[in-house]
Structure 1
């Protein structure tokens, strides 16, 4: 045990909660067999640490201490509800698990949890909502933002999903290899949504929530080792390419820097090279959606500067992607790429075709893209209106400041 001041303790606990709480909770779900009980036990473990560590000092393995304490608190709750026979079973289970020694089991618990949350007996909407809530620790409002849905709808889905897992006895395990391919699609989608929430969070003052993005990459790496299918490799490559640019996405004041203005010397060249290796493995098979997106990200990551980006290739990749997934968001990205290749007027014409799409009208990047293309064309009135609409739809501090700067430049040009 290491002695510590109250201030140091609070900092340690804040860091531990941010970085380890999802891991602690995932293991407690396995040990206690109940989502709500595991969350309650995890909170009690952190509360116990707040009171015990000032006197006892910081444990050599704080995560293991939190898991052990949470397990004991959870078992105490279960013992009050169970028969003597089950009581003895829980006692045996408590003695059998040692978080100080079972590091492999703890590291695999996040993978077990994601396959449980993505079980085929749950609807895809429930899978996504539950995994973002349990794997990422997001609030219901943040999950709703990630899924472009109402918070009340998401909350109901999460409650029903947990009830079904408990009532149906859905196993907390990684499926057998023969079952993995059919279970993989939802898992990959959830991992990518997790990465997006970490890389471009739905709200707050940070563009990049490093721990969340890194957790998604770690999970994708585990999946690639478990099942090295093309789309698993493609997703891992895609996230590595994006993550390699994180150091250049914000300035020292936390303000957003656009892709074309980023200092590319800050990009992680080694990580880009690793991403290329995974993309090459994925490219051995017919390209799926994640592999195509990874190829687009590679075209950006491997270009020397903004002026030498191969927009012709990027447009062709977006065309192929849209053939597989004809979504309005992909149509938006394709329109922006076309604007970079053929000019703002051509891009705006494509964006105009999306006006009837209800979902895209609530997406702030659609209006931000319209604003930028109007700005480039000198259409100040239209650009101002679009920037104002985009501002009303985003809750992220750096994005709001960036849009406000653009807006101020049009309203009060220097």
Structure 2
């Protein structure tokens, strides 16, 4: 088992953790035991959370790593926590909220009550939003046998969580246990971040000051001004604290040439054909090993079908059957195929140096947050990152002209 000094030495030498990340990962939490971290895209907040999970497990603590995003848990487990401890101890459990709710019902032999939810609520979305959490909350209140408990619960992408979900999850923390809430409210694609007011957070146990990670170690310095310009031109609700826009990393210069391209699709031209053309362009480049394509399901399904018809090596989470789509999300990773097609909702938390994004509209606040989040998935590459935006949104044409050197119609 590593001592605290051993962990500090490992994190500084092997992972170049900054002081704030090291504090999150190693230092015992304050008296309240509940800490909150806000970090910009690419600031290493998930990495710090993963390190904290490894440190706690090395101390014999039972840890639940949770999020709303199904695909993100695979990334946290396989790509992050394993960097610190491999094999991963059984003390660490990785589950998205709805799977955790089901697991509680299974452990307590309450599946009959779980199955009844699908009859009690008008649709599956209501079951996911309200039914599961309310049922599990009642199970903990009833204190029935075999309820799972944890010494620590670490919540990534906390801004995607409903407050009532957290209140339920909190009941599984042992007395004196700790919690870590990690978020970036600027990636508010579900429209839930603004509910986490200071008053609500204090009511949920997070009474200490925010810990902040502002510098991005993943994003290229060329994309950060574009993110700032987009938010300034198309603002959306993120809470009273305002947006968390990444700060540029001075150690990573702008001399690295990134291929930033914008293709504006005017009415009368098919956005599907335009996306296929751009995917082909990158896929046929021998210097690009894989392409990540982010779009909505309406655009994604026919594009995936076309590449499958051509017998291309493609992986997709787009499917008419939500059960098949849900299963695919569990196996999602940026380079799992030569072409990877998914939604920004599923890709949130991941990163890639080879990215194509289709944007159809920015009418709602969630639309704007989704586009910002999609752009912020771009990862540094020594040979330059590649980003192509295919826009069939007229409101964004001028933005594309002003911010992308390679602008096409």
Q: Shorter-chain TM-score: which interval?
A: under 0.3
Report the TM-score, using the length of structure 1 for normalisation: 0.25
| Bigger strand fraction | 2
Report the TM-score, using the length of structure 2 for normalisation: 0.25
| Bigger helix fraction | 1
